[in-house]
Amino acid sequence: MTSGKPVPTFPYPALVAGVDGCRAGWVCVLADAETGAPREAFIARHIAEIAALEGVVRIAIDIPIGIPDFARSGGRGCDTALRRNLGERQSSVFTVPARAALAEADYWRACDAAAAHSDPPRKVSKQCFHIFPKIREVDALMRPELQARIVECHPEGAFWAMNGMRPLTEPKKVKSRGYPAGLALRRGLLQAAGYPAEFLSARRFRAAEAGEDDMLDACACAWTARRVLRGEARRFPDEPLLDPKGLRMEIWA
C-alpha cells in the first residue's frame, strides 16, 4: 500500500475486484459481488497483495495475461478480436510482443527481440515497454488454474459493453493528458452502471500515485469482474489459444 498502510481487509461476504496499473502500483476497486455496489478503492504496490485478499471471488485486471512465444500480425488473437469492436478506440489495445522481448530491460534490446520473434518483424512501442515490469509481475503470479479467479480485461472493452456494445465516441486521453469530454463520458457510463458520482469523483489518491483515468478504468474492470462471475461477460475470442505456460490468451468484456 502507499503511505505505509497495510492492504485492508473487508467484512463483506463476497467481493469482485477491478485492477488497473498506476504510478504507485495498482489501483484496486472492490465491489459487492451480489449487488455490484462499489465498496472501496485503494492502491497496492504489488499485484500479489490483491490476489491474496480473502473474500474476493473474481479479479479482472487491465494487463496482458498469456504471452506468446511468437507474435503474429495484430498481436494475440484476443487483442485482434476485441480491437475489431472498438472503432476509433481500437488503438487503445496494443500489440503484445513475444515473451523473449518481455524479458529484456533495455528498450532497444527489447525491440530487437520483438522483431526476431514476430512476423512481420515488429518492434516494441515505448508505451508497451514502459509497462513491461507490470506485465512481468502478473506473469510471474499467474498459473493456468488461477484463471478461474483472475482474468484479463480491457477498460475500453468494458466501456464498449456498458455503452450497449457500441464504441465510445470520445478518447480518454489526448496527447497523454486526460481529455475532459472522454472522462465525463466514462463517468456517466459508470454512474448508469451503479457507481455513485461521489465514489467516482472523490480525489482518493495523490496525482503522483494515480490519475483519474486509472480510477475510472479500475471501476470498469470491477464491473467486468462481476459480469464474468455472473456468466454475463463476453470473451474475446470465443476459442482462445494457450501461451507456452498454458495460460489462455483471452480478454473479457
Q: Domains in the chain and their CATH numbers?
A: 1-95+134-253 (3.30.420)
- Ramachandran assignment for 60, one of left (phi > 0), alpha (psi -120 to 50 degrees), beta (any other): beta
Query: Per-residue pLDDT averaged across 236-250, rounded?
Result: 97
Residues 66/236, Cβ–Cβ less than 8 Å: no
| CB within 8 Å of 238: residues ≥ 6 apart | none
β 15-22/38-44 pair status: unpaired
The DSSP call for residue 248 is B
Query: Per-residue pLDDT averaged across 59-85, rounded?
Result: 96
Cα separation, 117 vs 192, in Å, equals: 44
| CB within 8 Å of 52: residues ≥ 6 apart | 7
Nearest residue to 142 via CA among 7, 208, 250, 48: 48
Q: What pLDDT was estimated at residue 74?
A: 86
Q: What pLDDT was estimated at residue 175?
A: 80
Model confidence pLDDT, tens digit, residues 139-172: 999 999 999 999 999 999 999 999 999 999 999 9
Q: What pLDDT was estimated at residue 129?
A: 95
Cα separation, 68 vs 159, in Å, equals: 26
Model confidence, pTM = 0.92
* Mean pLDDT, the chain, whole residue set: 93
Question: 35 pLDDT exceeds 90?
Answer: yes
From residue 249, how far is each of 65, 72, 78 by CA, in Å?
6, 13, 6
Cα separation, 126 vs 64, in Å, equals: 16
